[in-house]
Amino acid sequence: MKKVVFGLLAMFLFTNFITAQEDPEKALGKADKALAAYAQNLDPNSNEGKLKEAIELIDLASGAEVNKGKVRTWQTKGEIYNALADRDLTSMIKNPDFVPQHPEAPIVAAESFIKAAEIASKKYETKDAVKGATEAAGKLNNLGNNQIKRSDYAGAFKSLEMVMKVNDMVKKNGGDPVISDTDMPNHKYVVAFCASAAGNKEVAGQLFKELYQAGSEEAAVYSQYFDYLYQAGNKDEAWKVFEKGQSKFPASTEILFSGINAKIAEKDYESLKQMLNKAIEAEPNNPSIYSALGNVYMSLFNDEYAKDNNSEVAKGYFEEALKYFNKAISIDENQFDAIYSIGSLYFNKAVELIKVANNIPPGKEGQKKYDALSAEAKDLMSKALPFFQKTESMQPNDINTLIALSEIYARMNDFEKSGEFKKRLEKARAGQEVGASYFKK
């Protein structure tokens, strides 16, 4: 067996040695012939070796200085890689779940035809390059759609951005556009979206800027460009885009929610209340909006209550927060954020009372106040408990829920349960699964 393995290895090395010793100028002609042999076969799948040979030869030929200035080099390379791309496309048609094996193939093909067009000196050379690039663009569009479906946004960005480059080349050389003027804004938006999803924020921002400046009729362009500018620190310009978007698309919740998220980050509660009430008018059955408005009032309550635990203003904020959280739950009984927030509302109030109690001077009167505040805090903890039990049953790994449960049970002197949730908390913080929910019905 060892001799057989050695023999196969020797054969592999010998093949690579032959390729390495191939004359680059002759390799160009041989690549052309290998492609022709592959294409002439009625069943290209049974002749895969010829295509592989063509690829190896053209990669060798196109890497040599002697061939880089020849139109034929790039035209041949484009045709070979178009043929390779066809193999993936055929498999995609047969099986919608097929994952392309050579997503770079149509990109290499398109780049090769663009190079061919750049150095072409004869009309037929330019015409052939335009034709090949147009075919590559069609393959790239199909591949890009497949990549979006599989959430491969980085791949889709590369594929669909190359279609735009092909379009520029084809138009420059008198061919029919591969993207019509009518379709270009949508195509550019998709490319920008994929770039953003892939983390290429600078390219996405530039494309959204171009669409915005062109007066795009897509509300998403304004929300996405706003987000880009805001995250880049250009907040004044971002709010100008927001205002223009709202003026142009007054019914768009997408633009509105972009502004809401920004105001949450700024903790501009007054503006938030106005925006969220507007969002409720637009989507009265969206529980997330009521939950978000509840969180605004909870933040206001926390700030006010920390200053004065007897404040009537704080009591008003507390009731408003509770009202909106309960409204969210009335729409969706499994609205996690609202359920968790009610627990937090009671829990945070209890924590503030405990802080006040701990600062009471010792003495008979002080002890009475301490006992009263401690009892009130314990009652609030009891009210918070069922809400955290519910969120734990929904998301057993939620760290904040586990913290709350461990502390509440400790306050209730139930150290067995408190210890259980501390163990789960350690696992969750270590990135481990805690297992089945403790309170799952």
State pLDDT tens for residues 353-406: 999 899 888 888 889 989 999 999 999 999 999 999 999 999 999 999 999 999
Confidence of residue 150 (pLDDT cuts 50, 70, 90): very high
Q: Inform me whether the pLDDT recorded for 263 exceeds 80.
A: yes
Whole-prediction pTM: 0.70
pLDDT of residue 3: 42
Q: Inform me whether the pLDDT recorded for 352 exceeds 80.
A: yes
Confidence of residue 19 (pLDDT cuts 50, 70, 90): low
pLDDT of residue 209: 96
Q: Inform me whether the pLDDT recorded for 11 exceeds 50.
A: no
pLDDT of residue 5: 44
CB 185 within 8 A of CB 214: yes
Confidence of residue 251 (pLDDT cuts 50, 70, 90): confident
- The average pLDDT across 213-222 equals 94
- The average pLDDT across 162-168 equals 97
- The average pLDDT across 177-188 equals 95
Confidence of residue 162 (pLDDT cuts 50, 70, 90): very high
Please give the structure tokens belonging to residue 274. 């106005």
Confidence of residue 62 (pLDDT cuts 50, 70, 90): very high
Q: Which of 139-148, 191-200, 430-439 has the lowest mean pLDDT?
A: 430-439
Share of the chain above pLDDT 90, in %: 75
Confidence of residue 43 (pLDDT cuts 50, 70, 90): low
Q: Inform me whether the pLDDT recorded for 15 exceeds 50.
A: no
Q: Inform me whether the pLDDT recorded for 441 exceeds 60.
A: no
pLDDT of residue 20: 54
- The average pLDDT across 272-277 equals 90
pLDDT of residue 47: 78
Q: Which of 43-52, 137-146, 234-243 has the lowest mean pLDDT?
A: 43-52
Q: Which of 75-89, 175-189, 264-278 has the lowest mean pLDDT?
A: 264-278
Mean pLDDT for all residues in the chain: 91
Between 372 and 20, name the one with better pLDDT. 372
Confidence of residue 244 (pLDDT cuts 50, 70, 90): very high
Q: Inform me whether the pLDDT recorded for 304 exceeds 60.
A: yes
Answer positive or negative: Cα dihedral of 369, 371, 376, 377. positive
Q: Inform me whether the pLDDT recorded for 317 exceeds 70.
A: yes
Q: Which of 15-29, 204-218, 312-326 has the lowest mean pLDDT?
A: 15-29
**Selection from 1-10, 47-56, 269-278, 397-406 with the highest mean pLDDT:** 397-406
pLDDT of residue 21: 64
